[in-house]
Structure 1
Amino acid sequence: MTFPGVGTLVNVATVLAGSGLGLLLGHRLPARTRDTVTDGLGLVTLLIGGLSAASVGSAVLADVVGSSAPVLIVLGSLLLGGIVGSLVDVERRLEDLGGWIRSRLGRRDGLVEGPHAQARERFIEAFVSSSLVFCVGPLTILGSLSDGLGLGAEQLYLKATLDGFAAIAFAASLGVGVLASALTVAVVQGLLTVVGLVVGDVLPPAHLDALTATGGLLLLGVGLRLLRIRQVPVGNLLPALLVAPLLVALVAASR
């Protein structure tokens, strides 16, 4: 049986398991193995994204907005959301946030000298770096919201697999601080799942279908990035998730 939040629990478990394995393996995991696993996960991401995007053909959505409107709504969501996201530059701001957190913690740690300070600095570097990789990304938001909305935790299961292998590499090179990032995953994704639960009680099914279809296209962008085909700026497209339900309401009201 599944329940809201199960995806986050699995994700936390894979981060802990991957970190422990990384501490044991050290640098023994070949780069070709990591690349092969990433390619496989990229292909699965394309599959999940395609299945989610198929919600654009939902009969419920067509009944509310008309048979010709769903594709235009998804297109409009991506265009408007992409314009807003690129003007705000969501991806760069997320990267800047990570750099700011790292610099603040590093500066605070620099007030102390000696071997204990070096160990603490290494722990903080491992914790912050891995937390940012695990939590600052489109799949975190899409997967957690989907889990909370009751659309399934498949996206978080995929992310959990990615994070597990990433945790092996991080722990092998950065150390035990990577284990602590599991707490960040639990807090961030748990809060986003709660948001999904609240939204799921408010949005009608047609609005959820439009959001799901739009999110599916964003997942396709994540898959292209994992396969190193094209670095689609998925972060800048995230506002489309807010635009899609609004466009459905607008079109439905105008009919």
Structure 2
Amino acid sequence: MVLYGTLVNGALIVVGSLLGLFFTKIPERYKETIMHGIGLSVLLIGLQMAFSTEIIIVVLLSLLTGAIIGEFIHLEEGLNRLGAWIGSKITTKNENFSVAQGFVTASLIFVIGALSIIGALDSGIRGDHEILITKGVIDGFVALVLTTTLGFGVILSVVPVVLYQGAIALLATQIEKWIPETFLNGMIVELTAVGGLLILAIGLNLLKVVQIRVGNLLPSIVTVGFIYYIYQLF
């Protein structure tokens, strides 16, 4: 089953989030320190991924073009509105912002990254779900901790995770017919680096060092493919 790894990943996020709901009443100082720990861990993950780049100009141009597109279409505002709209259906008005914040933050952490893409490709191309199941275990623990500080909105992140990884897995069943393996491997390296920088930005936001509109940088995940293709032509 092509979507097996994706569904397991989603289920583990739900389980982790539900467990986290039982710990939301812990004192604020514990939540603050836990969030700092998550932020530092996210920074480390982002740095490790970002340093994988072999062509820095591709990463730079991908972020620049992605930022222009994201700001033009106000992508982050749209994500926040979506989170708030979902929150309005299940919470009181005063809790909507918290739900939106949890939804957007968790979605970005779980969706952006090499494991999402490589794992989904493995599921689609080779029928190997080990990477996505491993990612699911990690995501489940992260969801548990995030839910203790960001609340119910974290569990809603399962929707974009399943849609995103599922779409890649289904596409991957045919991708080898369209894209040479050498090109695909090189693009994944640069995609990993771009994703790492976005994860790094999420970590900085969690630590409140700076407030980066990460949502408006998301198009760089798409533009990196086009930039890498143009680079290879020359």
**Do both share a fold (TM > 0.5)?**
yes
Name the % identity: 27
Q: Which residue of 1 aligns with 2:125?
A: none
Select 1:251's aligned residue among 223, 226, 231.
Answer: 231
Residues 115-194 of structure 1 aligned to structure 2 (within 5 Å): 122=91, 130=99, 133-134=102-103, 137-143=107-113, 144-145=116-117, 147-150=119-122, 152=131, 159-168=139-148, 178=152, 182=155, 184-194=156-166
Question: Partner amino acid for 2:224?
Answer: A
Give yes or no for contact 2:87–2:99 (8 Å, CA) kept in 1: no
Question: Partner amino acid for 2:14?
Answer: V
- Say which is worse superposed, 122-131 or 132-141, in terms of deviation: 122-131
Supply the distance in 1 between the matched residues of 2:148 and 2:81 (Cα, whole angstroms): 25
Supply the distance in 1 between the matched residues of 2:195 and 2:96 (Cα, whole angstroms): 29
Name the SS of the counterpart of 1:55 in structure 2. coil
Select 2:10's aligned residue among 8, 11, 29.
Answer: 8
Supply the distance in 2 between the matched residues of 1:76 and 1:193 (Cα, whole angstroms): 25
TM-superposed CA distance for 1:231, in Å, is 0.9
Give yes or no for contact 1:38–1:162 (8 Å, CA) kept in 2: no
TM-superposed CA distance for 1:158, in Å, is 5.6
Query: Which deviations, in whole Å up to 9, do the C-alpha atoms of 1:74-93 show, x marking residues without a partner?
Result: 00000010011111111111
- Say which is worse superposed, 76-85 or 130-139, in terms of deviation: 130-139
Residue 44 of structure 2 corresponds to residue 55 of structure 1? no
- Structure 1 unmatched ranges of 5 or more: 58-69, 106-120, 172-177
- Structure 2 unmatched ranges of 5 or more: 123-129
Query: Which deviations, in whole Å up to 9, do the C-alpha atoms of 1:58-80 show, x marking residues without a partner?
Result: xxxxxxxxxxxx10010000001
Asked which structure has the greater CA Rg, the reply is: 1
Q: Which residue of 2 aligns with 1:228?
A: 208
Select 1:195's aligned residue among 143, 161, 167.
Answer: 167
Distance 1:54 1:215, change over 3 A: same
Distance 1:97 1:89, change over 3 A: same
Select 2:35's aligned residue among 33, 38, 41.
Answer: 38
Q: CA RMSD in A?
A: 3.3
User: TM-score, normalised on structure 2?
Assistant: 0.74
Supply the distance in 1 between the matched residues of 2:96 and 2:137 (Cα, whole angstroms): 22
Question: Partner amino acid for 1:245?
Answer: G
- Say which is worse superposed, 244-253 or 153-162, in terms of deviation: 153-162
Aligned pairs, how many? Answer: 211
Q: Which residue of 2 aligns with 1:90?
A: 75
Supply the distance in 2 between the matched residues of 1:122 and 1:56 (Cα, whole angstroms): 42
Distance 1:156 1:139, change over 3 A: farther
Distance 1:50 1:200, change over 3 A: farther
Q: Which residue of 2 aligns with 1:174?
A: none
Supply the distance in 1 between the matched residues of 2:233 and 2:150 (Cα, whole angstroms): 50
Residue 59 of structure 2 corresponds to residue 74 of structure 1? yes
Supply the distance in 2 between the matched residues of 1:134 and 1:163 (Cα, whole angstroms): 11
Question: Partner amino acid for 1:194?
Answer: G
